[in-house]
Amino acid sequence: MQLVKLAGDILASATIEVNKLQTDRKKLEQIITLVTKRTGLSEIQSLSNSELSLLIDLSKGARISALARKKNIRRDTLDKRLARSKEKLKVSSVHELIGAMKELSFQHRSNPEQQAT
């Protein structure tokens, strides 16, 4: 009986994690759509998940050094991801994109109609 309960608990936990991942993926897709509409940067779809995640974290105010520690990644690795993102998006600075993402995030939260799309 305990084995069945343990298996059920593991399955329930896995289901919760899968749902979280699906929700995060939907949020990333919404951000991609919003950034593309706002900036015309369809190249944002060429970003890897890690590059996009980094830009999202930075747009929320995270610092690169803190992200490196949190993700257990070297600082220069994150710097390289930012450089690749900047190159892929053909922007003059990462700050330019982060500012646009902050603005989009604010508009998305304050406009419920956009959340339905």
Long-range CB pairs of 20-23 (<8 Å, 24+ gap) are none
pLDDT for the residue 66: 93
Per the structure, the count of domains in the chain is 1
pLDDT for the residue 39: 63
What residues make up the domain containing 98? 2-115
- The Cα 29–Cα 23 span in angstroms is 10
pLDDT for the residue 96: 78
- Residue pair 27/35 in contact (Cβ under 8 Å)? The answer is no
| Average pLDDT per block of 10 residues along the chain, 117 residues long | 88 91 81 69 71 82 90 91 81 74 56 43
